Structures are given as structure tokens and as C-alpha cells.
């Protein structure tokens, strides 16, 4: 069962700076690290846990793992605000 989100949530920008998934924290109550994930649509910045994918955090899909990794490392990606 997901735990309730903390009383004071970080802004999307703060979550990105902390390298945690904003949507995962807000909607699931989990502080999960941002990472490069893959789906049929392409690579994206998101979060996973032991059970699998949790959230797609980036608006963009990237053509390659390297492009997504570069975007994550440089901060050149856009945070999704709604699941």
C-alpha cells in the first residue's frame, strides 16, 4: 500500500535538483532516483522500484539511451507535471 505523500512536497524543480522523481513522490509517495528507462515509445527519464516502472518523469522520449542519459546528466529535459 502506498504511503501518503509528505506534508510539504518539493517543487518539480527541487525534485529534479535532488534527482528524485517528482511524480513518483507526489502520486505514489516514494522517493525514487531518476534514471533512464525504456518503453516501446523510446527512452525516457523516469523511476522504477523492485516491482518495475513507477513513473515517466520526462515529457520527451529520446531516440537512444545515450541521448536520454545526456539529458538527465545536463538537466536538458522537461519535467511532466501530470501522470
Residue-by-residue DSSP string for the chain: -PPPPPSSPPPHHHHHHTTB-HHIIIII----B-EEEEETTEEEEEEEETTEEEEE-BS--BSSHHHHHHHHHHT-S-B-S--
Structure confidence at residue 18 (pLDDT): 75
Phi and psi at residue 74, to the nearest 5°: -95, -10
> Hey, what's the cell of 83?
501522470
- Give strand pairing partners of 58: 79
Mean pLDDT by 10 residues, the chain (83 residues): 56 72 94 97 97 97 98 96 89
pTM here is 0.81
Amino acid at each position: 500500500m502506498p504511503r501518503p505523500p509528505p506534508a510539504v512536497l518539493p517543487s518539480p524543480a527541487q525534485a529534479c535538483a535532488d534527482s528524485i522523481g517528482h511524480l513518483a513522490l507526489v502520486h505514489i509517495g516514494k522517493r525514487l532516483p531518476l534514471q533512464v528507462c525504456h518503453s516501446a515509445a523510446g527512452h525516457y527519464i523516469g523511476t522504477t522500484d523492485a516491482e518495475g516502472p513507477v513513473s515517466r518523469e520526462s515529457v520527451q522520449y529520446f531516440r537512444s539511451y545515450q541521448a536520454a542519459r545526456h539529458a538527465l546528466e545536463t538537466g536538458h529535459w522537461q519535467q511532466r507535471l501530470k501522470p
